[in-house]
């Protein structure tokens, strides 16, 4: 990975977006994760929260305690100390998915756009391991990297007002899962029966940033069985 100068842009008057790269790259994402951990280890009264994504870190700050220049300086200094942050161990998490049909209304478009059959879409999507690059958009919504370039498909020009919970989708070079119903602009190719996010559970989320997800194709019958088990 070529070294790239970190860029800082204001996102409104109370947040700064720090950009560490422009592509889906595990090393860049690891940098974002470590910066998030460093900020947690080095609390500052003017820094309110930090949330990362593929290549960017959004830092919320209080403008009465800290200015843009001071915060970017602090972030650059922390970046120099990377490598000393404590990061939790990563896991591999199996997620069963029923592909196509009513669960994946856009799988035909994805197949056609990429000149392949829907069977090949399923095969390619389920044979890879995906790193969780970020969690956001909805509770437990995981942004996954490592999507086969032959499955890349642009997001919808206008987002859907409602996407069903458990939907698995593709947008650009990203793939991910919707844990709860919400609006969204992704191309939908399948659905998982698992309850991915439960705030009352001991472990509200089944996974965290840096874990690996593996999608396992299942039948409609197995979907109904697992869905019933998970919702007891």
Partner 1 sequence: MKNAFRILSPGPCTTVQDLGRFGAYHMGVPVSGVLDDYAGRIANWLVGNSSNCALLEMTMIGAEIEFLTEVDIAITGAAMNPQINGQPCRQWTSIRLQSGDVLHLGAAENGCRTYLAITGGVEVPVVLGSRSTYLGGLLGGLDGRVVVAGDILKRGAGPLLRTPKSLPWYPLYPENICLRAIAGPHNGYFRDHLQHFFKATFEVTADCNRMGVRLAGPTIDRDTTAPESILSEPIVPGNVQMPASGQPIVLMKEQTIGGYTNIATVISSDIWRLGQAKPDDTIRFVQISLEEAHLLYREWAGFLDAAKSFL
Contact residues for partner 1, defined by CB under 8 A = 9-15, 17, 22-24, 36, 48-49, 51-58, 60, 63-64, 67-68, 134-141, 143, 154-155, 157-159, 161, 171-174, 179-183, 185, 197, 199, 204-205, 209
CB of 46 to partner 1, least distance (A): 12
Q: How far apart are CA 164 and CA 26, in angstroms?
A: 29
Residue identified by tokens 């029966």 is: 193
Cβ 167 to partner 1 shortest distance, Å:
14
Buried-exposed string 130-144: b where 16+ CB fall within 10 A, e elsewhere: bbbbbbbbbebbbbb
Task: Compute the least distance from the CB of residue 147 to partner 1, in Å.
Answer: 12
Q: Least distance from C-beta 101 to partner 1, angstroms?
A: 26
- Which lies closer to partner 1 via its Cβ, residue 23 or residue 119? 23
Q: Which is nearer to partner 1, 24 or 218 (CB)?
A: 24
State in Å, rounded, how far the first CA of the chain is from the last one: 47
Nearest residue (CB) to partner 1, 14 versus 216: 14
**CA 110, 112, 113, 119 torsion-angle sign:** positive
Output 87 or 181, the one with its CB closest to partner 1. 181
**Phi then psi dihedrals of residue 228, to 5 deg:** -65, -45
- Closest separation in Å from C-beta 148 to partner 1: 17
Gap between the Cα atoms of 95 and 141, Å rounded: 13
Give the span between the Cα atoms of 38 and 72, in whole angstroms. Answer: 14
In whole angstroms, how close is the CB of 224 to partner 1 at the nearest point?
Answer: 22
Q: 89, 116, 220, 227: which is closest to 165 by C-alpha?
A: 227
Of 118, 198, 196, 178, the C-alpha closest to 153 is: 118
């Amino acid at each position: 990975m070529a070294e790239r100068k970190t860029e800082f842009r204001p996102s409104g008057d109370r947040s700064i977006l720090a950009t560490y790269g422009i592509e889906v790259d595990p090393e860049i994402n690891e940098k974002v994760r470590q910066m998030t951990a460093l900020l947690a280890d080095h609390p500052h009264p003017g820094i309110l929260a930090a949330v990362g994504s593929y290549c960017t870190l959004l830092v919320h700050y209080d403008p009465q305690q800290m200015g843009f220049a001071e915060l970017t300086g602090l972030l650059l200094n922390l970046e120099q100390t990377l490598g000393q942050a404590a990061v939790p161990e990563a896991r591999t998490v199996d997620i069963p998915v029923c592909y196509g049909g009513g669960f994946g209304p856009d799988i035909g478009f994805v197949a056609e756009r990429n000149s392949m059959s829907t069977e090949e879409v399923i095969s390619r999507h389920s044979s890879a391991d995906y790193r969780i690059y970020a969690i956001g958009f909805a509770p437990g919504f995981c942004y996954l990297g490592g999507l086969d370039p032959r499955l890349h498909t642009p997001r919808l020009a206008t987002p859907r007002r409602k996407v069903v919970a458990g939907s698995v989708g593709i947008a650009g070079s990203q793939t991910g899962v919707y844990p709860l119903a919400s609006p969204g602009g992704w191309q939908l190719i399948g659905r998982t029966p698992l309850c991915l996010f439960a705030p009352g559970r001991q472990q509200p989320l089944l996974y965290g940033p840096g874990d690996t997800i593996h999608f396992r194709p299942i039948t409609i019958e197995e979907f109904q069985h697992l869905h019933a088990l998970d919702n007891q």
